[in-house]
Structure 1
Amino acid sequence: MTLLNSGDRVGETLVVDRLLGEGAFAEVHRVRHEYLGWQAMKVFKRVASREETRSMLGEARLLSTLGHPNIVRLFEASTVPTPEGLRGYFTMEYVPGGSLERLAAAHRPSVPTELVAEVMTQIASGLAVAHAQDPPIVHRDVTLANILVGYDAGGMRIRVSDFGLARRADPVTHLASAQGTFAFMAPEVLRNQGYSCAGDVWSLGTIAYLLLTNHFPYGGGAFSSYSPARFAKPLLPPSRYNDTVDPELDRIVVATLAVDPAGRPATAGVLKEALADRQRRLAEEPPPETTSPASAPPSVRAQRLADEALALAAVPGELERAADLMEEAVNLSPRLRELHLARLLRWRRGVVM
């Protein structure tokens, strides 16, 4: 049983639409704001005193200080009465395309190399803002599930979300306590030596390695061990699994996964610059053209979403909803991305052709 149900009103302007997902500490609903349209609402499950609720809403306070296109936007934070008692909540951007988990699943065994490079760059851009705070804010849980993939008039826009474990680092050591998801944890974090900006860089590198190879780094395949002993094995560069990965991207990804944090880019800002340098070099010497392999036919759900979007786009006043449906479709299917991405971007600009 969820704390909120479809049709429930929250305050004067929000109506609950449907549950998007839930974890041990919170559930996330899609809600309709009377004036601003779709939003996502995170509702905390715990019964809490006023002080505990203020602590739980620390994520919202952090987000309110980090305005950036690649960080999910915060709208409101408050409390809501539920059948189980008063609960803290906040509202943020709703991203119809879902998370990187969906994008990775659609492209298996590997996401196109330049798409991965763009994803890395945008994640690094968002995290760089957090890492540049004084003292730095470290996310501590950068995973596929916590990176959202959306599209606006300018193209794909990644948002870093779920800052629930984020903390300001110690102003002297720039370390925070170890939290997060084991498969994306840096070696020093697993050894309880604290979390730094370089720990977030490791997690981002793990994401990139997975997207490029469909393997976890140092594991030889699926993540199978929580033991730091696995880091004694040499790391195979992504190009050993995927021959479309160029030497420069190989070098960058391998650097993010240096076992010694001193060997990694120290912050996401440093990583962002390395990726930008690679892009500048590619622009000067374009790589040879390659033909992409034929993608699998869209799933029934993906095709249905695309068909509904195309029909809705012809209905006056429904272009935004059509774009949301198409966003879901293109993240579920490489074939539909190839066919409809340009159309989706036009729709985000308000253009129907």
Structure 2
Amino acid sequence: MTLLDNGDRVTETLVVDRMLGEGAFAEVHRVRHEYLGWQAMKVFKRVASLEETRTLLEEARLLSTLGHPNIVRVFDAGTVRTARGVRGFFTMEYVAGGSLERLARAHSPTAPVELVVEVVEQIAAGLTAAHEQDPPILHRDLTPANILVGYDGSGMRLRVSDFGLAKRADPFTMLASAQGTFAFMAPEVLRREGYSRASDVWSVGTIAYLLLTNRLPYDDGGPLSSYSPSRFARGPLPPSRYNPGVDAELDRIVLATLEVTTGDRLASAGVLADELRKRRQRVDRAGKPDGGVVEPPPPSARARLLAEEALELSRRAGQLDRAADLMEEAVNLSPDLRARYLPMLTLWRRGVTL
């Protein structure tokens, strides 16, 4: 049984529309705000005292301090009476396109190189806002499932989300306790030596490597849930060995995020963002590397239906935002539809129809 059902009223202005998903600690619902439109609402499963509820809502408080286009925005926080008692909740941006995990599946086995670069640049930009806080805010659980892929008037816009494990680093050691998803954990985190900005960078590098190669770095076939010296004894092959569209500069940057020794790794998201910016400038001057022409797979039945419904809605007065939400889901599900409809979606997000 879910904590909230479709149609439940959370506040005078907020009504539950449908459940989006759930994890071990919380449910996420799409809700309709009477004045602000669609939002996502995280509702915590745990029964907690007032003080414990304040601790659970620390994620919302941290997010409210960051205010960056590539970090999900928080709108409100409080408590709601559910079928299982009072629970803490907060509302945030609803991103119709879903997660980077969905986008990666649509482009399987590997995403286009420049799309991956744009993804990593935007993750690094949002994460830089957290890493430059004093003391730094460390995410500690960066995975493709925690990156939301949306679109606005300028094109694709990612939001780093799910800061449920985020924590301010100790102001003296600049470290935080180890948390996260095993496959994306840095070796020092697996050794329980604490979490730093460089540990977040490792997670971003793992995401990049996975998108470019359809492989996890340092995957020797053994369990990923604990530290193994043999697993990290040999560095991963450059992404270009699996994906010929990857240039030497991108190889260097990705491998620099995956150095086993933290002192050799790119130290923070800001450093990674600078490296990617320099590469883009060099690529723009020299022309994009030629990775060959790869025909996208045909659109899935669901993606095609979403696109058709979006096109129909776009012709109706007052339905452009809903049409854009549906098209956002469609282009993230299908590379073919992305190529065909992304320019149109960008115009819709600006309020323009043709």
Q: Which bracket does the TM-score occupy, shorter chain normalised?
A: over 0.9
Q: CA-to-partner distance for each residue in 1:53-83, whole Å, 9 max, x for gaps?
A: 0000000010010000000000000000112
Letter in 2 for 1:47: V
User: Does the 8 Å contact 2:29/2:40 carry over to 1?
Assistant: yes
Q: Distance in 2 between matches of 1:158 and 1:292?
A: 25
Q: CA deviation at 1:287?
A: 2.9
Structure-2 separation of matches of 1:288 and 1:191: 39
Provide TM-score, normalisation by structure 1. 0.98
Provide the rounded CA distance (Å) in 1 between the counterparts of 2:200 and 2:208.
Answer: 13
**Cα contact 1:216–1:222 (8 A) shared by 2:** no
* Aligned partners of 2:74 and 2:92 also within 8 Å: yes
CA distance in 2, matches of 1:313, 1:27: 31
| RMSD (Å) for aligned C-alpha atoms | 1.2
| TM-score w.r.t. length of structure 2 | 0.98
Aligned length in residues: 353
Q: Which runs of 4+ in 1 moved over 2 A?
A: 220-229, 287-292
Within a 5 Å distance, the mapping from 1:128-277 to structure 2 comes to 128-219=128-219, 226-229=226-229, 230-277=231-278
Amino acid corresponding to residue 202 of structure 2 in structure 1: W
Matches within 5 A, 1:18-167: 18-167=18-167
Identity of aligned residues (%): 69
Contact 2:244/2:291, CA 8 A, preserved across alignment:
no
One-letter identity of the residue aligned with 2:251: D
Unaligned runs of 5+ in 2: none
Structure 1: segments with no counterpart, 5+ residues:
none
The separation in 1 between residues aligned to 2:122 and 2:211, in whole angstroms, is 15
CA contact (8 A) 2:247 2:289 kept: no
Q: Which residue of 1 aligns with 2:305?
A: 304
SS at match of 1:86: strand
Q: Which residue matches 1:295?
A: 296
CA contact (8 A) 1:215 1:221 kept: no
CA distance in 2, matches of 1:136, 1:148: 22
User: What amino acid is aligned across from residue 9 of structure 1 in structure 2?
Assistant: R
What is the alpha-carbon distance in structure 1 between the residues aligned to residue 316 and residue 169 of structure 2?
A: 50
Using the TM superposition, give the Cα deviation of residue 215 of structure 1 relative to its aligned residue in structure 2, in angstroms.
0.1
Q: CA contact under 8 A between 2:99 and 2:144: conserved in structure 1?
A: yes
Checking the alignment, whether the CA contact within 8 Å between 2:46 and 2:87 is kept in structure 1 is: yes
How far apart in 2 are the matches of 1:222 and 1:333?
A: 33
Does structure 2 retain, via aligned residues, the 8 Å contact 1:216–1:223? no
Contact 1:70 1:160 in 2 (8 A): yes
Looking at structure 1, the residues matched to 221 and 68 of structure 2 have their Cα atoms a distance apart, in angstroms, of 35
CA contact 2:143–2:207 (8 Å) conserved in 1: yes
- Superposed CA offset, 1:129-156 (max 9, x none): 1100111110000001000000000110
Residue 283 (structure 1) shift? 1.1
Q: Which amino acid aligns with 2:79?
A: T
Report 1:321-340 matches (<5 A). Answer: 321-340=322-341
Residue aligned with 2:150, SS = strand
CA contact (8 A) 2:245 2:292 kept: no
Aligned-residue offset at 1:171: 0.4
